[in-house]
Amino acid sequence: MATLQQHREIQVTSVLGTDVLLFRRMQASEGLSQLSEYHLELYSERADLKIDDLLATQMTVAVDLPKGGSRYFSGHVSHFSFSTRQGRYCTYKAVLRPWLWFLTLASDCRIFQELSVPDILKQVFAPYSIADVDTSGLSASYKPLTYCVQYRESDFNFVSRLMEQEGIYYYFKSAAGRHTLVLADSYGAHSPAPGYAQIRFMPAEDHAMRESEVIYDWRMGGDVEPGGYTLQDFDFEKPTANLLAKSTLAGSYPQSRHERYDYPGKYIERKSGENYARTLIESLHTGTQRVTGATRARGLFPGALLTLTEHPRSEQNAQFLLLEARYSLSSDTYEPTPPAEPAPVLSCEFVALSRQQQFRAPCVSRKPLMQGPQTAMVVGKQGEEIWTDKYGRIKVQFHWDREGKRDENSSCWIRVAQSWAGKRWGALYTPRIGQEVVVSFLEGDPDQPIVTGSVYNADTMPPYSLPENATRSTLKSNSSKGGGGYNELRFEDKKGSEQVFLHAQKNLDQRVLKDSLDWVGGDRHSKVDKDLREKVGGDRHSSVGGHRNEKATGDVSMAAGANMIINGGLKTGITAGIDTYIKGGMNVVIEAGATITLKVGSTFLTLTPAMIVASIIPLPLPEAASAAQALALTAATGPAGTPLPPKEADDGK
């Protein structure tokens, strides 16, 4: 005849049915912000149970309460094994854990933006179909986090550290065939366990085995902890703002005012910093005034409030919050020969905290540290080539981000390190969409990326072929939008071919507020395809060591506001293809030390210090006059020098 659990104080239900598995004993642990863990020893009359039929399924242990109803321990089977055979029964062992435990099996790399911690939790829990969450215990308001990264981190560690950071903690409520994760941030989320609002204290020697629904051991204790927590941070958008945030919770004992100071606090508003500081100090003080106790009351669980009565120390007759519990449950009803003095059905050792002190979970979940710089691709709005804000920040797509869409929402705005950054002065290079950049992380924090450089790859190659042009260094841009042009400052360091090359795709503007000095050791060539215009506010001085040749295919106009003086060291010639005009507003003076000759066709007039000779008066000319005449006639007829063409500038190719 099959063994039935009906009318027994402890029963087990599983996917196999009601009476396939029978309860033998259990060691269990529960606690606020702790994963419950139930280690069961089970009997079964069947030796053919398949392990895979039970793994990851729900299993519930129900314990009868003295006043009716049941206390449930529910969880999913994380381990199941065959142990031994004892008489008619096969012994199996099982470990039950809550659904939240499955988050320890999954890890991810992803980005959350503009979401509060409760909203992030909701998104992380969403893929877990077995998730059962009660958020009604959250009473505080939670600001959205601008940028929050889960990097190579289990889902469980990720949600745990976010909750610890924000002062959120959790516990589980079990029912028949299910258990619920309850999120809380204050005592308002707690209530007494049904039927256990008050529990009497009765020392063990007094109550013996007569009454189980009492607390028979109650021990108070305390630890010395810091009396304050201070945080500091920096907001680049408010660089002079004082963000120092403090929270104090000093005890009444000596040496209770020591302070913990930390940076960075990871906030940009002082109010947020004060909240974080308060959460941290409350977390430290959770262990300062704890109570440990023991009971055989079956209905208590962590997260429940209990009011102690009849304790000899009156201050202990108050309300407490159950923080942790360790249970030992056993049943001898299936033994062939029950023991003479059966063990208690349930015994419990617990830790409690006075309601006067706010519970916060210890901040034990470590945030992953980025082990070094990474590279990422610059992204932005579709159709744009440059996507930036007023600070020169950019957006990137990390190689590990499989959820990003490679658009302007792939990351937060990330600051770009420059070689110089002054107050409206400095260097500015804005990485463009499609470029690969190097990203570092402040304090190794994945939530605080900063771009520190750019690198070439197979899609974005260097501007010159390498290693053929290894001696070249350059700053070369690309016209936007669409490309097809560039500005460049290039240095060629090849021995014997050293060059500084400057290319302006359109305009080149130079502005010198004082002096501009230019020295050329060899030739200087200048070519202007259109107009050359100059304006000199003072004097212009030009000194040429050799010849000076200028040529205009059109007119040459020169005007002097005062005097114009042309001196020729040997000869001065003015030649016109048709007409030459010399006009003086009052006087025209032509002076020569030897001869002045005026010639039209074959007719001439020669003036010397001694005589005047004209071709229409056939007077004999002295030999000296004839020589002077010949000199004068040739002086004015020599051709102008022809300027040499300039060399073409390097085209940069």
Query: CATH number of the domain that 95 lies in?
Result: 2.30.110.50
Distance of CA 149 to the CA centre of its chain: 9
On whether the CB atoms of residues 87 and 336 are closer than 8 A, the answer is yes
On whether the CB atoms of residues 15 and 309 are closer than 8 A, the answer is no
On whether the CB atoms of residues 271 and 283 are closer than 8 A, the answer is no
pLDDT at 343: 63
DSSP letter at 466?
A: T
- In this predicted model, what pLDDT tens digit does every residue of 541-589 receive, in sequence order? 989 989 888 888 889 888 888 998 888 888 888 888 888 888 888 998 8
Quote the CA–CA distance of 251 and 357 in Å, as a whole number.
12
Angstrom CA distances, 463 to 236, 327, 494, stand at 35, 71, 17
Domain assignment of residue 324, yes or no = no
* CB neighbour class for 408 (10 Å; exposed up to 12, middle 13-18, buried from 19): middle
Query: Which among 461, 488, 508 is the end of a domain?
Result: 461
Give the number of domains in the chain: 3
- In this predicted model, what pLDDT tens digit does every residue of 639-649 receive, in sequence order? 666 667 766 66
In DSSP terms, 179 is beta-bridged to 174
* Domain region containing 443: 369-461
- Among 570, 609, 577, smallest CA distance to 593 is for 609
Domain assignment of residue 591, yes or no = no
Residues of the chain with pLDDT under 50: 210, 619, 624-625, 627-628, 630-633, 635-636
On whether the CB atoms of residues 225 and 265 are closer than 8 A, the answer is no
Domain assignment of residue 279, yes or no = yes
Domain assignment of residue 253, yes or no = yes
Query: Which among 461, 476, 501 is the end of a domain?
Result: 461
Domain assignment of residue 399, yes or no = yes
Sign, Cα dihedral of 381, 384, 388, 392: positive
DSSP letter at 197?
A: S
Task: Report, in angstroms and rounded to the nearest whole number, the Rg of the chain calculated over CA atoms.
Answer: 48
pLDDT at 635: 47
pLDDT at 636: 47
On whether the CB atoms of residues 117 and 123 are closer than 8 A, the answer is no
CATH of the domain at 401: 2.40.50.230
pLDDT at 356: 87
Query: Which among 461, 485, 511 is the end of a domain?
Result: 461
Distance of CA 86 to the CA centre of its chain: 61
Find the angle CA(575)-CA(580)-CA(582) to the nearest 5 degrees: 115
CATH of the domain at 254: 4.10.220.110
| Tokens of residue 4, six digits | 């039935």
Domain assignment of residue 79, yes or no = yes
Domain assignment of residue 409, yes or no = yes
On whether the CB atoms of residues 380 and 386 are closer than 8 A, the answer is yes
Domain assignment of residue 524, yes or no = no
CA torsion, points 262, 267, 273, 275, in degrees to nearest 10?
A: -120
pLDDT at 454: 97
